[in-house]
Amino acid sequence: MRHMRFPRRPRLLGIPLALAIVALGAVLLAGCGSQGPGGAGSGKLQVVAAENFWGSIAAQLGGEKVDVRSIIVNPATDPHSYEPNASDARAIAGAQMMIINGSGYDEWASRLLAANSAGARSVLDVGDLLGLKEGDNPHQWYSPAHVRGVIDQIVADYDKLRPADTAYFAHQRQLFETVSLARYNDLIAQIRSRYAGVPVGYSEGIFQPLGEALGLKLLTPYSFTKAVAEGTDVTAQDKHTVDQQATARKIKVWVFNSQNVTPDVQRINELARTAHIPIATVTETLTPASASFQQWQTSQLEGLQHALQQATGR
């Protein structure tokens, strides 16, 4: 299993990123030209998303008027430390709109954009949009309220870039919010109504925005989840606290990121199983990669709902 870490300190350009920037400059000097079907020559609005969770939403809101490419699509790829390649650079050079997560999460994308500050390109930085500060949790695609805010901004940006298609984008938005997200919204409302206040433990911060939105009582110390996410040593005190929460059944459900099973997380998994505490899983990026945002989130919510049902008998 790979180890996900957030947010990382700025570091010097890696060789792949430096080569990508060089390639990007070459593309700009040569001119983007037509990219053929689905590319700049197709007449569609060209959008590049750094990560596929935002890319999936952007594609559904854009429909047939927009061509969206997501750079991070492989579930085994760590978005924090990804090194872009020449193909990524070409895609960004030809993009009319770029969506990045920001907040120190995808610094590689910010650096690549800074190396190609095209005046005509629209850039949606989710962290900036949400007013996140340094040290804030960057995993806001797990916040239903913030997802709605990003939807609003994506459609607003589409309207500015393609004013002739505003009616189409409004229709796509209505379809996405009322049909595509219906099950997602229903599950959130059901879990919040039935299980608010239930104490749960969780391995790292990607679950925090969702857990708070669901009204669950999050017992795991923040310092534990931060250490797991950043790949640093968990303190002896935090280990003792989290271990005791499991062995004494102070938590009703344990939620862990299955893409980052550190020795500490593995130990808590075993303690939870021994104590017969139901376990639910989440992942940082779309899993499987072919899933839509709502399919991915709905599947995880259903797993969490089942674990809560097992734990509480209701």
Mean confidence (pLDDT) of the chain: 88
Q: Which long-range contacts (CB under 8 A, 24 or more apart) does 214-218 make?
A: 214/188, 214/304
Tell me the average pLDDT across 63-84: 91
For 298-309, write each residue's pLDDT tens digit.
Answer: 999 999 999 999
| Residue 105 CB neighbour total at 10 angstroms | 24
**What domains sit in the chain, N to C, each tagged with a CATH number?**
15-180 (3.40.50.1980), 184-312 (3.40.50.1980)
User: What is the structure's pLDDT at 79?
Assistant: 83
The SS3 assignment for 299 reads helix
User: What is the structure's pLDDT at 21?
Assistant: 47
Tell me the average pLDDT across 203-223: 97
User: What is the structure's pLDDT at 119?
Assistant: 67
Under the banding of pLDDT at 50, 70 and 90, the label for residue 22 is very low
Tell me the average pLDDT across 25-39: 42
For 132-178, write each residue's pLDDT tens digit.
Answer: 998 899 999 999 999 999 999 999 999 999 999 999 999 999 999 99
311: CB partners within 8 A, 6+ apart: 198, 252, 253, 277, 278
* Tokens at 46, concatenated: 């060209």
Give me the residues paired with residue 199 across strands. Answer: 217
Task: Find, among 9, 20, 18, the residue nearest to 93 by Cα.
Answer: 20
Under the banding of pLDDT at 50, 70 and 90, the label for residue 245 is very high
**Which position has the higher pLDDT, 83 or 33?**
83
> Rounded CA gap, 91 and 119, in Å?
16
